Amino acid sequence: MQADPKTVLRLLKTARGQLDGIIKMVEEDRYCMDISQQVLAADAMLRRVNKEILTAHLKHCVEHAKDEKERAEKIDELVTALGKML
């Protein structure tokens, strides 16, 4: 992985904390809209993690591909990932 591990781990740990909070909210039978808001926040955090990883992939793996064939493969991987996100 070419993304900065410290950044990725920090974001993932934040998302984990959010998920733990959501689980506690469900266990405490908190208001559904409050829970939904926290789910959206956790989703946004995971999307930020993925953005970091995909950005690094583009800047390193695609840019430094050894030849056009490998570059095309890396771009296809990125397009597939973006398709899943959208």
Quick: pLDDT tens for 13-52: 999 999 999 999 999 999 999 999 999 999 999 999 999 9
Pick the CATH number of 5-85 from 3.30.1280.10, 1.20.58.1000, 2.30.290.10, 1.10.3720.10: 1.20.58.1000
| Rounded Cα gap, residues 58 and 86, in angstroms | 18
The structural domains of the chain, with segments of one domain joined by +, span: 5-85
Cβ atoms of residues 24 and 40 within 8 Å: no
pTM, two decimal places:
0.81
Dump strand ranges (E) for 1-86: none
Query: Which structure tokens are listed for 84?
Result: 């899943």
pLDDT given at position 1? 77
Query: pLDDT for 53-80, tens place per residue?
Result: 999 988 888 888 889 999 999 999 999 9
* Secondary structure of residue 43 in the 3-state scheme: helix
